[in-house]
Chains A and B, each alone.
Chain A
Amino acid sequence: MSLAIDAFTIICVAAGVFFYVAGTIGLIRFPDSLSRLHALTKADNLGLGLVALGLLPRASNFPDAFKIIMIWVLVLLSGASAAQMIGRALRRGRR
């Protein structure tokens, strides 16, 4: 059972790191600021979600698991809100 949990954590966290790296490559390779926002919001959101999912079985109690979920939810909401605001500002700046 412990081996299965370890394997689950390793797979999920490794997949999460992959998406973080992909988001960072997007930040470098994408041609303009608005496209880079896609890389930062979407790939990182999935990366953090997978890292959080991988860490959930390792939480020793309910508050620890709740904290992990709350971190993901708050980063998700703040990242999506900030990306929209930056996108709006960039669009207005282009006019």
Chain B
Amino acid sequence: MRFGLFLFVWLMIAGWDPKDLPVGFIAACGACWTSLLLAPQRKWRLRYAPTVELLIRFLRGSIVAGFDVAMRVLRPDMHLAPGFVTASLIASPSYSRDAFCLYQSLQPGVLPAGAEGDVLMLHALDTGNPIPEIVAQDEALFERAVA
């Protein structure tokens, strides 16, 4: 199943030429092996309604983040107060937490810069924003979506 999915992606990207198929098989085998190696110990179960809500929030956040940066760079004073802020995390170190950090790195005004224990270090463009509260809301939704 996993191998088939990777082979499908490769065929869609590289085309269906039979002479390229051996390379596609090797690439799909490599991708399959790597994904099994990195697969989480605990199986994820997606809950549909929170996942859709998370996706909508992610898309909205990504658009707002792009506008936020564009508006700042075009203002003469840029309205910046950069610095680090910390946010408490519910999840223990896991692939799920890494995925949440990936999600968070595309949200407006924040960039995860590593975690220490249960504390996520974030670089913020404006430290005056209520970032820990927003991260807590995001994580609660993420935890609901990825059971």
Contacts and interface: CB of A to CB of B under 8 A. Distances in A.
Interface of A: 18-19, 22-23, 25-26, 29-32, 34-35, 37-39, 41-43, 45-47, 49, 63, 66-67, 70, 76-77, 80-81, 83-84, 87-88, 90-92
Contact of B111 (A37, A77, A92): A37
A28 B140 CA distance: 36
29 contacts: A22-B66, A22-B69, A22-B73, A29-B78, A30-B73, A30-B80, A32-B82, A34-B82, A34-B111, A35-B82, A35-B123, A38-B123, A41-B106, A42-B108, A43-B73, A45-B106, A46-B67, A47-B66, A63-B12, A67-B12, A70-B9, A77-B102, A80-B106, A84-B111, A84-B113, A87-B105, A87-B112, A90-B113, A91-B123
Contacts of A92: 114
Please indicate which of the listed interface residues B66, B82, B114 has the most CB atoms of chain A within 10 Å of its own CB: B66
Interface residues of B, number: 32
B106 A25 contact: no
Interface of B: 9, 12-13, 15, 62-63, 65-70, 72-74, 78, 80, 82, 84, 101-102, 105-106, 108-109, 111-114, 121, 123, 125
